[in-house]
Amino acid sequence: MDAVEKLRTVSAHMGLEPAEDYQPPAGSAHRGASLDQRAPAELRRLANESAPYTTPALCDDKQRALGVSYAAMPGGKRIALLKTLLTSACERNCFYCPFRAGRDFRRVTFKPEEMARAFLQLQQSRVAEGLFLSSGIMHGGARIQDKLIAVAEVLRFKLGFKGYIHLKIMPGAERAQVERAMQLADRVSINLEAPNTHRLAALAPLKEFTEELVQPLRWVEEIRRTQPARFGWNGRWPSSTTQFVVGAAGETDLELLSTTEALHKQTRLARAYFSAFHPLPDTPLEHQPAENPWREFRLYQSSFLLRDYGFGVEELPFTPAGNLPLDVDPKVAWAQRNLSEAPVEINRADRQTLLRVPGIGPKGVEAVLSARRQHTLRDLRDLKALGVIVRRAAPYILLDGRQPARQLSLF
Ligand code: SF4
């Protein structure tokens, strides 16, 4: 089978993670949010209403068949990214995974040089611009990690590829391998899949939460902290991300977001991805219902509140069962409880307080701070011109001492 046919075979089974998937444009209230294309149209419509999401440019059929999709890079630029596996064979048995051991389908394996050359061919023919490389595990994670590193080494040093590479860190990888991957890649990631040991046991009984999954994320941060950035690719250390499967192990949103918050604080995680569970035939979870995509969306919104808006996990509006309400934006829910009786004076509030107002994102805060140095903001039109979503902000603010609610009919 030639390399292109192998890529098609892998792609046919891939529901790979949403890493780097599309993002809303700069300045939106929830920059960085991703809403899976599987989400119902109504959810996407509402998402567009609450934050101006862009529709991702679609790859053509040929690209999609190979596993190429448009993705947002850490700086916001969008490129055609080949997401693929070095091997679709795996000795592990994660309950949600299409590649789990024992599942009956045709497996393919690339040699490192073969993968590197196949990608370069796609890049030179403008089918793909960047590479996201993961793998099934055979003969232990360390052995596969060496091969993933070898692909990146061939691309960087033999074939002269200078573009985007995201390398997966395998469970069981060694510290020196993590360091080498960081010298070659623009981004590295390790999927935790679940928020703690107990939940992981219900999803992936052969993975060890702390030793195999959390520890490499700690190493990444330790290396970034203790070694000069010039050792990283292009003089920068890569960012790090993780992913959770949502809704397959009985985990609560509180558990997921507590772990996310700890990772942001302790390992400077760039981003947590949440992937709503979808049952696959011939897996132990095939009869379990799919997770509601609204849950995934609320988790993204909340994770941005933790990462970019100064919220603590204990401030999020969890139900007594530890989950987020699905019918309300978590920032709005917080504002309803905390700002309805104590609206924020836009002309005097500090940066952190402004960030708490629905409809005002980090860029909007900077715009407000800059504009009010020039003149007093008295009108919703002033705020709209600064990028604030005034319909959302109006119930919770004062403009020069007045509630602007009556102006709302103009918007
Ligand atoms: S180790 Fe990875 S590829 Fe293998 S079954 Fe688990 S999730 Fe799937």
Residue 22 confidence (pLDDT): 45
Q: What SS3 class is residue 37?
A: coil
Task: Give Cβ neighbours of residue 385 (< 8 Å, ≥ 6 apart).
Answer: none
Q: Which of 13, 16, 86, 100 is the pocket-test mutation for ligand 1 (most atoms within 8 Å of CB)?
A: 100
Nearest atom (ligand 1) to Cα of 136? 3
Answer yes or no: is the C-beta of 136 below 6 A from any ligand 1 atom. yes
d(CA 252, CA 151): 38
Q: How far is the CA of 82 from the centre of ligand 1 (A)?
A: 19
Phi, then psi, of 216 in degrees rounded to 5: -60, -35
Nearest to 22 by CA among 53, 46, 68, 61: 53
d(CA 191, CA 171): 9
Task: Give Cβ neighbours of residue 383 (< 8 Å, ≥ 6 apart).
Answer: 346, 368, 377, 390, 393, 399
- Do residues 137 and 171 touch, judged by C-beta distance below 8 A? yes
Which sequence spans correspond to the domains of the chain? 3-21+56-291, 339-410
pLDDT per residue over 292-301, tens digit each? 999 999 999 9
Fold of 3-21+56-291: TIM Barrel (3.20.20)
pLDDT per residue over 195-245, tens digit each? 999 999 999 999 999 999 999 999 999 999 999 999 999 999 999 999 999
pLDDT per residue over 118-152, tens digit each? 999 999 999 999 999 999 999 999 999 999 999 99
Q: Which of 83, 88, 90 is the pocket-test mutation for ligand 1 (most atoms within 8 Å of CB)?
A: 90
Nearest CA to ligand 1 atom 3: 136
